[in-house]
Amino acid sequence: MQAALDHFGRIDAVVNNAGILRDGIFHKMSEDDWLSVISVHLNGSFFVSRAAAEHYRKQESGAFVHITSTSGLVGNVGQANYAAAKLGITALSKSIALDMQRYNVRSNCLSPWAWSRMTSSIPTATPEQQAAVEKLQRMTPDKNAPLAVFLCSDAAKGVTGQVFGTRMHELILFSSSRPIRIVHKAEGWSPESIAEIAMPAFQAGFMPLDTSETLFSWDPL
């Protein structure tokens, strides 16, 4: 942060883009693979943002763009560490947006689809994996830059606390977690009445065990 101040004289935008992958099925994931991914993605986003926050507060302006992923927003197999970090980043961003709105500071998330050095480690052992990687390779990082630049600019005034996605030439606005259904029982609940009444009432609103690939099943446009 000090190097940026020395070079530019002030800080107006921060893009938390650092990332690594240490994929593995959950019951085989090592402590090091968990901690290293959390450290780079989630802790890294906090520390860089925290370093900029005091400058933003004093000048009463500034923008954060935090890179999240559908691995956390939706789900992917073999990415418990990455998914947890990336979904945690969305909560961090919302908290920053709430805490710093009084200083005209904006904080948003961007979930990009792109082929990069990080995603080059995605396995291609099966035909399905090979097909998924071929689609991803068509989505180059330059497709994500315009939205990141917009979110950092004065044109994005009033846009804060949101989660966006970029997929080829598609722009996506993601929802946040909100109550879907509520059931009430005046005399209270027991495990038996929950099984008999509450779960059947909730079931139609259950989220499926889908993944990013199954949810976004069409070819990128």
Could you read off the pLDDT of 136-172 as tens digits, one per residue?
777 788 999 999 999 999 999 999 999 999 998 999 9
Pick out the chain residues at pLDDT < 70.
Answer: 115, 117-123
Tell me the CA distances in angstroms from 196 to 5, 99, 188, 206, 216, one per residue in order.
Answer: 61, 42, 13, 16, 34
Predicted TM-score (pTM) of this structure: 0.89
Provide the pLDDT for residue 141.
85
CATH entry, 2-179, from 3.40.50.300, 3.50.50.60, 3.40.50.720, 1.20.1050.10: 3.40.50.720
Provide the pLDDT for residue 180.
94
**Range list of H helices, the chain:** 2-8, 31-38, 44-59, 70-73, 80-100, 127-137, 145-152, 191-193, 199-203, 212-215
Residues involved in catalysis:
82
Provide the pLDDT for residue 120.
64
Provide the pLDDT for residue 220.
81
Query: Rounded to whole angstroms, how far apart are CA atoms 150 and 158?
Result: 12
Q: Taking the domains of the chain in order of start, what are their residue ranges? A: 2-179
Query: Residue 183: left if φ>0, alpha if ψ -120 to 50, beta else—which one?
Result: beta
